[in-house]
Structure 1
Amino acid sequence: MLTGFKSLVRKATSLFASPQEQSYPIIIPRSEHSLSRQDLSPNAVKVLYRLNKAGYEAHLVGGCVRDHLIGMKPKDFDVVTNATPEEVHATFSNSRLIGRRFRLVHVTFGREIIEVSTFRANSAQEENDDSSQEKTSLKGKDSARSTHGMLLRDNVYGDIEDDAERRDFTFNALYYNVKDFSIHDYCGGLKDIEDKKIRIIGDPRKRYAEDPVRMLRAIRFAGKLGFEMDAETAAPIKEMAHLLDHIPPARLFEEVLKLLGSGNGIATLALLRQYGLFRYLFPDTDALLQSGWKRDDIDPEAFILQGLSNTDNRIQSDKTTAPYFLYAILLWPSVALRHEEFQAQGMPATPALHQAANMVLDNQVAATAIPRRFSTPMREIWDMQYRLPKRYGKRAFLLLEHPRFRAGFDFLLIRELSGTQLDGLGDWWEAFQHGTEAQQRDLIKSIDARSNDKDGPKKRRPRRRRKSNGANTSSEAQDNTAQSDKSNE
């Protein structure tokens, strides 16, 4: 995966014993690395050239450079420049300014968005360094911190060296210069890639306090890349995990999708639990897993691992996954527990399920926000788990047409694969989906509706005709007509 890369790093760092003693930046000319314009997004290259033509400095930075050097296909192409957001916006008619905490420009090319940011300086340094304040005053100064030290706004502009120092991890401080196609390493990222190390730039405690999400990013890179966290980078995480309580739930929702929905969910979940971070993302689920609760029809840990395995396999096979399906998996054990509790209190099965879903979702949104466009299909998937066993009469045909049938069926299969015994329900529905109409009707006849559905159809009592005289009948008819007229009004 790193063919030719080790020799490149050795050549670049041969004069020094450690990254701390290395002279930076290390500049790798085009002749000594394999990253070319053919590996880049054509639209990202257009943005770089347009900014250069307008007189600004511009580089690709971070993940797209890192991933190529590791041997992965780059996906996100982020541009960094010395132009202010307003200057970038004025340069591109197909752009818009976004953000307040971190002001950015999105340049849109159809469905592709190239994110452009201005070189940032370390705001902590700005507050204590008069010379730095003077250096960046021409570009603007706008930063604010919470009482916990978290950056609420980070719009202090600087130069490329400042920008590299304030990035999170060393391998994200790699810059590609389109003018001469060279790669610039400012913080030892090349050596850390060779050593498969995740190392934060600067003092870990201060950097995590500035933005606690950096702890989640460290975990995500460890799960995604298979790298090991540097000891100093990992040491404060358990102690500082509680700072995630101060991150807006909407931001954590997006982080969860990156953490567990990127094809490395199982490894990432293990790391989140190991470092005490999972409880701040899914408090109910974490408490359930810690308690060891299980019952005959569900083993929470086995189910979640099976669900993440299914998601990982789909992503690694370039298939799509839905965020609501991932969240439905992670919250299902809690829904099952609450459902059991409400039924024990005498509540009927269906109302108990709806009440359980409400409670679990209400608790979850306090940690990670879940948009309604996702919470609604989650409820439907859970509801399908109690509807799919009800196959008598026309119900099987109606369920097959339900817009959430496929997701509910896939969810059912995950339950079976995790050890839940459902009497061959998954196989029955698999055959029903692909059978002819005659075969489908035979499948319905082959099941005993009452044994498969305790809430099956009940015999209706014959209606008793009430004896009445003609006068009363006429009076009742008038009353009914009056009520009908009133309702029509």
Structure 2
Amino acid sequence: MLTGFKSLVRKASSVFTPTKAQTYPIIIPRKQHSLSRQDMSPNAVKVLYRLNKAGYDAYLVGGCIRDHLIDIEPKDFDVVTNATPEEVHAIFSNSRLIGRRFRLVHVTFGREIIEVSTFRANTAQEETPSPGATQTSLKDKDSARSTHGIILRDNVYGNIEEDAERRDFTFNALYYNVQDFSIHDYCGGLADIKNKQIRIIGDPKQRYQEDPVRMLRAIRFAGKLGFQIEASTAAPIKEMAHLLDHIPPARLFEEVLKLLGSGNGIRTFALLREYGLFRYLFPDTDALLQSGWKRDDIDPEAFILRGLKNTDERIQSGKSTAPYFLYAILMWPSVVLRHEEFQAQGMPVTPALHQAANMVLDNQVASTAIPRRFSTPMREIWDMQLRLPKRYGKRAFQLLEHPRFRAGFDFLLIREQSGTELNDLGAWWEAFQHGNENQQRDLIKQIDSRSNNNEGPKKRRPRRRRKSNAPQRDISSDS
């Protein structure tokens, strides 16, 4: 990591250690850095040139520059310009206006979307609303804050210097100018990349109050990049973590996927707990972990870590993961606890599981919204944990055809790998999946369905014929 950065500073290393007298922006000409148009999305370059041709300033900004400098392949190429969203939309027929909180333009090229935003003014110096007010205007009607100081809408436009100051972290205030191929550093981001640190722009408390999700972003970058959170940036996080309660659950759902579903889940999970943020994302799970509750057949922390490790390995090897699987992992220990409680009240095993799933999901959606398209397969994965041990007769073949079989089987393996004893159930299903029909039938025959936890079918008594109460007809009297 950082070999690209070494190349970038080969002729200008002194400028990346700014003193108090350092003036910004620091402009790095093309011959002194390694970023070229070949490293960029061709469609992003098209957007830049089209905006320039129409008479507007346009730059690549943020993550795509940061990631290139630390030798991570950029995934998103964001453009910032002095054109308003309506002006950008008029230039590109393949675009659409989106967002209310932040007005943006998405320019679509097949499956790729280039996000274009307008330079925004920094509203950080404006006063927070007085208690009792629902929201307050900042500069004009296109900017407003909640009673907690959280920015609800921010569509006040400014220049590039103001735009840099309102970005979250210094390494995200880097701009690439396609007109002369230079990189512009407005807040010391290059020095922070060199020092492997995450530093917020401006006063940390004020910036977190404006948008508490910035605390989660600091954790995400620390997990992704392996950087340290700079001391003053880290200091207020624990005391301000409660502000996440005021963020819409739908937004936090997306943040969880970025935090724990990007290939760095184990480190990120540890950081979320260290800084007291995890409890505001998964309150039931956090309470369970804090209590130290465990059973012979489940160690909640070991299970979650094993599930995150499995997710990290899949992503790092280029495989896909489903959001519902990640959420099913994080919430399963709570389901097991509630399942146990409902059974203790006399409820049968399967209805108790369904009731436990309902309760846990209902509690969770108050923190992070879970769309039905994800909650339904989560329920099915949990339900499969009761169904997979029941392999007698035709059930094994039927389960193999179930659309959620593979996810349920992978989930079962994580349970076993984390210490849950399931009598080699995972190995049996592994053999069954890859065996031919004769081998599959032999595997079923080997199961003692009568002694294996009573999983076999109960022998039914023969049905007795019901006696009729109608009077007997005397056929001897018929002629």
TM-score range, shorter chain: over 0.9
**What code does the residue aligned with 1:67 have?**
D
Q: Which position in structure 2 is the counterpart of 1:288?
A: 288
Aligned mates of 1:16, 1:31 — CA distance in 2: 16
Distance 1:444 1:50 in 2: 66
What is the CA-CA distance between 1:350 and the residue it aligns to?
0.2
Equivalent in the alignment of 2:304? 304
| Structure 1 match to 2:403 | 403
Matched positions, count: 464
Q: How far is the alpha carbon of 1:127 from its aligned partner?
A: 6.8
Quote the residue 2:247 is aligned against.
Answer: 247
> Which secondary structure does the structure 2 equivalent of 1:124 belong to?
coil
* 2:106 equivalent to 1:106: yes
**1:18, distance to aligned residue in structure 2 (A):** 3.8
Partner of 1:447: 447
Query: Residue type of the partner of 1:115?
Result: E
Determine helix, strand or coil for the equivalent of 2:176. Answer: strand
Q: CA deviation at 1:336?
A: 0.4
Q: Does the 8 Å contact 2:3/2:70 carry over to 1?
A: no
The answer to whether the 8 Å contact 1:9/1:190 transfers is no
Q: CA distance change for structure 1 residues 19 and 232 in 2, over 3 Å: closer, same or farther?
A: farther
Structure 1 residue identity aligned to 2:206: K
- Partner of 2:152 in structure 1? 152
CA distance in 2, matches of 1:298, 1:98: 45
Q: Is contact 1:390–1:452 with CA below 8 Å preserved after alignment?
A: no
SS in 1 for 2:464: coil
1:412 positional shift: 0.5
Query: Which position in structure 2 is the counterpart of 1:188?
Result: 188
Matched residues in 1 for 2:84 and 2:422: separation?
60
Alignment of 1:108-147 (within 5 A): 108-125=108-125, 142-147=142-147
C-alpha separation between the residues in 2 aligned to 1:257 and 1:456?
Answer: 40
For residues 11-30 of structure 1, the aligned pairs below 5 Å read 12=12, 14=14, 18=18, 20-30=20-30
Richer in helix (by share): 1
Name the residue aligned to 2:79: 79
Contact 1:16–1:22 (8 Å) recurs in 2: no
* Match of residue 459 from structure 2: 459
Q: Determine if contact 1:390/1:453 at 8 Å carries over to the other structure.
A: no
TM-score, normalised on structure 1? 0.92
Kept after mapping to 1: 8 A contact 2:16/2:190: no
Q: 3-state SS of the aligned residue for 2:208? A: helix
For residue 142 of structure 1, give the secondary structure of its aligned residue in structure 2. Answer: strand
Q: CA deviation at 1:125?
A: 3.6
> What secondary structure does 2:3 align onto?
coil
How many angstroms apart in 2 are the aligned matches of 1:255 and 1:111?
A: 22
Aligned residue type for 2:114 = I
* Distance in 1 separating the partners of 2:242 and 2:323: 25
The structural deviation recorded for 1:158 is 0.3
Counterpart in 1 of 2:476? none
1:58 alignment counterpart: 58
Secondary structure of 2:115 counterpart: strand
Aligned to 2:135: none
1:431 matched to 2:431? The reply is yes
Identity of aligned residues (%): 85
Matched, 1:322 2:322: yes
| Contact 2:9–2:33 (CA under 8 A) maintained in structure 1 | no
CA deviations over 1:115-135 (Å, ceiling 9, x no partner)? 11000111234679xxxxxxx
Q: Assess, with a 3 A threshold, how the Cα gap between structure 1 residues 19 and 355 changes in structure 2: closer, same or farther.
A: farther
| CA distance in structure 2 between the aligned counterparts of 1:106 and 1:472, rounded to whole angstroms | 84
* Cα contact 1:285–1:334 (8 A) shared by 2: yes
Q: Is the 8 A contact 2:213 2:244 kept in 1?
A: yes
Amino acid at match of 2:326: L
Give the 3-state SS of the residue equivalent to 1:107 in structure 2: strand
Amino acid of the structure 2 residue aligned with 1:154:
D
SS of 2:124's partner is helix
TM-score (norm 2): 0.94
d(CA) in 1 for partners of 2:83 and 2:118? 6
Question: How many Å separate the matches in 2 of 1:464 and 1:382?
Answer: 39
C-alpha separation between the residues in 1 aligned to 2:357 and 2:161? 50
Aligned to 2:191, the other structure's residue is in SS state: helix
Matches of 1:250 and 1:424 in 2, distance apart?
Answer: 39
5+ residue gaps, structure 2, are 129-137, 474-479
- Work out the CA distance in 2 between the residues paired with 1:435 and 1:36: 52
SS at match of 1:116: strand
Could you say if the C-alpha distance between residues 20 and 103 of structure 1 is closer, same or farther in structure 2, counting changes exceeding 3 Å? farther
Deviations 1:261-304 (A, max 9, x none): 00000000000000000000000000000001000110000000
Evaluate the alpha carbon distance shift between residue 56 and residue 467 of structure 1 in structure 2; reply closer, same or farther with a 3 A threshold: same
Stretches of structure 1 lacking an aligned partner (at least 5 in a row): 129-135, 474-489
Moved more, 177-186 or 278-287: 177-186
Partner of 2:198: 198
